[in-house]
Amino acid sequence: MMKRNEILEEMGLTPIWKLRRPPEKNDAGTIGDRTNDWSAVATVVVTANAQDAPRDIFAETAPRNVLVAGDERARRIAALAWEDFSKDVAACRACVLCEKRNKAVPGVGDIDARWLFVGEGPGAEEDKKGEPFVGQAGRLLDQMLKALKMTRNHDVYIANVVKCRPPGNRAPTPTEAEACRPYLERQIALIQPEIIVALGKSAASLLLNTDASIASLRGRVHCYRDVPLIVTYHPAYLLRSLTEKAKSWEDLLFARKQLTQETE
């Protein structure tokens, strides 16, 4: 059994009492040794609130008859098989995010997973590789999974609210999130996870249909349809805050407890 300290070390959480200011940058910008790139994370947060979100095709061309087209599209996606899923996402033109994407990022992991992690949307690195959470936030997510003795390819599936990169790493607009919702819903229906972990505000808002803060949503078991859902901070946010990292670790332990309680 891994000792608590070893686990916290894996996540870069020890020793908490020593850290009085943001960790220093180093060339590698690695996470395990708490030398995250602070300035890069600050940029993410600033641009996440940007007002200049591109206008959305779906919204702009959404007179009454588009609702019917939207319903048809949702029905088609709801019937997609795994084999066709990624190709369908890659061809999607339902919102403006398709215009600047390099690669669509459908999701990654074990399609029979009990755990489903839902992030916000691809960043620059994800857009290049076509895989979610491969940048700095992703390395932290991998550390968190490792601390739980899991990997992204075993018993875990990782998806995002939107499958194409929002420019400048801004948060997806509600219209973009809605346009992409059928894909996430299809992933949930195909995977049938036993627990969903919503990573950050975009995922929590979409899945729980709420505008409440992460702080107010964490520490409770919510439900998406009939699947238990736990809310925690987004890994990109955690890169900035050691205290929130500790809270997020608590959230993951809480999630694991729900899962083990369920299977008992």
Work out which of 14, 36, 143, 160 binds ligand URA, going by CB under 6 A.
Answer: 160
Q: Is residue 166 near ligand URA by the rule CB under 6 A?
A: no
Residue 240: CB minimum distance to ligand URA, A: 14
Whichever of 12 and 138 has its CB closer to ligand URA, that residue is 138
Binding mask 207-246 for ligand URA (x = CB under 6 A): -----------------------------x----------
Query: Which residues lie closer than 8 Å to 43 by C-beta, 6 or more apart?
Result: 169
Which of residues 23, 106, 123, 228 is near ligand URA by CB under 6 A?
123
CB atoms within 10 A of CB 106: 20
Contacts of 188 (CB under 8 A, 6+ apart): 116, 196, 224, 225, 227
DSSP secondary structure letters along 202-231? HHHHHHHT----HHHHTTS-EEETTEEEEE
The one-character DSSP state at 172 is: P
By CB under 6 A, name the one of 23, 106, 107, 121 that touches ligand URA: 121
Q: 3-state DSSP call for residue 57?
A: helix
- Least distance in Å: CB of 135 to ligand URA? 6
CB of 4 to ligand URA, least distance (A): 28
- Cβ neighbors of 202 (< 8 A, separation 6 or more) are 119, 120, 121, 161, 162, 171, 172, 177, 234
What is the rounded distance in angstroms from the CA atom of residue 122 to the CA atom of residue 198? 15
Supply the minimum distance, in Å, between the C-beta of residue 105 and ligand URA: 6
List 137, 150, 171, 259, residue binding ligand URA (CB under 6 A): 137
Of 48-56, 73-81, 116-124, 185-193, which segment contacts ligand URA by CB under 6 A? 116-124
Listed in sequence order, the residues at least 6 apart from 189 whose beta carbon sits closer than 8 Å to its beta carbon are 78
Residue 172 in the binding site for ligand URA (CB under 6 A): no
Binding site for ligand URA (CB under 6 A): 119-123, 126, 132-133, 135, 137-138, 160, 236
